[in-house]
A and B are shown apart, each in its own frame.
Chain A
């Protein structure tokens, strides 16, 4: 599950993520991080689901972070998309493919939100959320 964390001022200097990892033993992958000593934002991927995920999220919230579960990192506007496929091969996460109707399909589980497809799309049909 990909999760967006917002660090308010009070939590920005604490090693919250390290604590969660030590406490839960979960594998957490940092996909994106913009942190300053004052505040910050981070997108992480927690490699679990169910109760284990829930307790990890609870812990993050208890530490004072704002937690948003991300079901998708990008949004495709099908009204603009022309199914050209220009976004497929540049995707480093191999998250984009044609479905059987040759429509573009983005696998939210694989997507890391890098934004290459956003720049690549000739129709500007993809947006980062």
Chain B
């Protein structure tokens, strides 16, 4: 298909624009087109419909704006700058900056960020600008504080390196605690499922093979007009995860389609409205434009696994996810979106209206996007310190049996000067733990054997785990030591917060 890709067999882009000019182009939203295909068949629909409009409105972290502030008197080479206390990237010319959506306010983190500044600018609000410099012969000023509005800037354009994922994996949580992620709040024990993307309205899914969306395609962006400026980062079209980079003038955009947002304990981001017109140039494009929610697969991943390769809990689809409940195993789990389907629909309708009223013409891409891209992981080349490196090994450990006498164990603790005693059965399998605190309590309550006082639900570590992960676990459960176990829970050692703080000092990049 590669040489065929983008071939204008049913109609050319020029013919479509001519029809728009005459006012007789047939435009349908993706959902209207689905209905029409169901009613009249794909053949007839492809023959009659010129353009299918799409839309999506979701959190898109790889978004931001290039801003040019103009020169002050005397001028400054801004080395660092902040907009409403949100730092903007200053590794550019004197008064150019890039404000990223996920940059957080230094005074109100997890509350206000770059996305909110963009929303405020587009709303016409005044924004505080603060800048610092070391001063040069050509740019003598060393600091400034002022306020700006969008109108004061020379250029202000949204430039988003990755937007509009073709589809996106859904999220759930098998663990015992609530997770706060960029996929929203995930309740414990598969308590809910969240998903992102607009499914049958998704711009890039409706042109699944990327035959009409490419470099130069004119689009709806944030309520104004923008362009596709290439493949997005992490573009992976071969598995339905194509992305685009987009650009558009912030002037002309609307705060209705650019909304700053916060994900609890994750950080700030920007909801971006993207709508793309799909010219029905051949039967393949018509067929993908007609794909329905149930045709678009979505894997539900377990976000409690702290790995880039999260296990797939279930393969679902947008129809099931949008229904509000998903069956996982024998459990009916509530599901809800993170992207606004309501606004996505409105974008597709707005774009349709623009075309029908001759305000918007389609642009054939000057270059198609790649339809294959390797998705590379980041390799950590320095060896990282693991639990096995610093734990107290089995041979140095004090272990006890459940029916051991408390006094005997107390004596061992004093002799060896330790705080934690893992309790094991005959096979060396961990069955509990006691700490010096437990023994103090036992004394106070006059208990005799360990099994009366031991903690049976023990938080453990594995030898291969990174030390920082285990440190995080200790902090989470407010504990100071974890038994290290193998896959069948046999005790291999013990790691304490003491080991971490003492043995890691001065040991960078072991």
**A positions within 8 Å CB-CB of B:** 82-92, 94, 97-98, 101-103, 116, 119-120, 122-124
Contacts and interface: CB of A to CB of B under 8 A. Distances in A.
A89 B193 contact: yes
B324 interface: yes
B162 interface: no
Contacts of A82: 57, 259, 271, 340, 343
Given A84-B338, A90-B186, 12 more contacts: A82-B343, A83-B341, A83-B342, A85-B337, A85-B338, A89-B333, A90-B336, A102-B340, A102-B345, A119-B185, A122-B271, A123-B261
Interface string B367-404: 00000000000000000000000000000000000000
A102 B343 CA distance: 9
Contacts of B259: 82, 123
B184 A90 contact: yes
B263 A122 contact: yes
Contacts of B341: 83, 85, 102
Contact of A89 (B58, B180, B194, B264): B194
A62 B259 CA distance: 50
B339 interface: yes
Contacts of B343: 82-83
B335 interface: yes
Q: Which of A89, A102, A103 has the most CB of B within 10 A?
A: A89
Given A82-B259, A92-B191, A97-B324, A120 B185 contact: yes
17 contacts: A82-B340, A84-B271, A84-B337, A87-B336, A89-B324, A89-B333, A90-B184, A90-B192, A91-B334, A94-B334, A98-B324, A102-B342, A119-B185, A120-B184, A122-B263, A122-B269, A124-B262
A122 B262 contact: yes
Contacts of A92: 187, 191
A120 B342 contact: no
A40 B342 CA distance: 43
Contacts of B261: 122-123
Given A84-B339, A89-B334, A89-B335, A119 B264 contact: yes
Contacts of A102: 340-342, 345
A124 B110 CA distance: 11
B105 to A, nearest CB: 14
A86 B191 contact: no
B347 to A, nearest CB: 12
Contacts of A97: 324
B342 A90 contact: no
A123 B271 CA distance: 10
Interface of B: 57-59, 111, 180, 184-187, 191-194, 259, 261-264, 269, 271, 324, 333-343, 345
Contacts of A103: 342
Contacts of B334: 88-89, 91, 94
Contacts of A123: 259, 261-262
A-B residue pairs, 4 tightest by C-beta: A88-B336, A89-B192, A122-B261, A89-B336
Contacts of A101: 342
A120 B264 contact: yes
Contacts of B336: 85-90
Nearest to A119: B264
A86 B271 contact: no
Nearest to B259: A82
A105 to B, nearest CB: 13
Contacts of B339: 84
Contacts of B324: 88-89, 97-98
A58 to B, nearest CB: 39
Contact of B338 (A86, A94, A124): A86
Nearest to A97: B324
Contacts of B191: 90, 92
A103 B343 CA distance: 10
B8 to A, nearest CB: 36
A88 B337 CA distance: 8
B185 A116 contact: yes
A38 B109 CA distance: 36
Nearest to A96: B336
Contact of B180 (A83, A84, A87, A119): A119
A53 B363 CA distance: 67
Nearest to B325: A89
A83 B340 contact: yes
B101 to A, nearest CB: 12
Contacts of B180: 119
Contacts of A90: 184-187, 191-192, 194, 336
A96 B242 CA distance: 33
Contacts of B59: 122
A94 B191 CA distance: 11
A92 B334 CA distance: 10
Contacts of B192: 89-90
A82 B262 CA distance: 13
A95 to B, nearest CB: 11
B70 to A, nearest CB: 32
A115 to B, nearest CB: 11
B437 to A, nearest CB: 27
Contacts of A116: 185
Contacts of A86: 184-185, 194, 336-338
A7 B9 CA distance: 77
Contacts of A119: 180, 185, 264
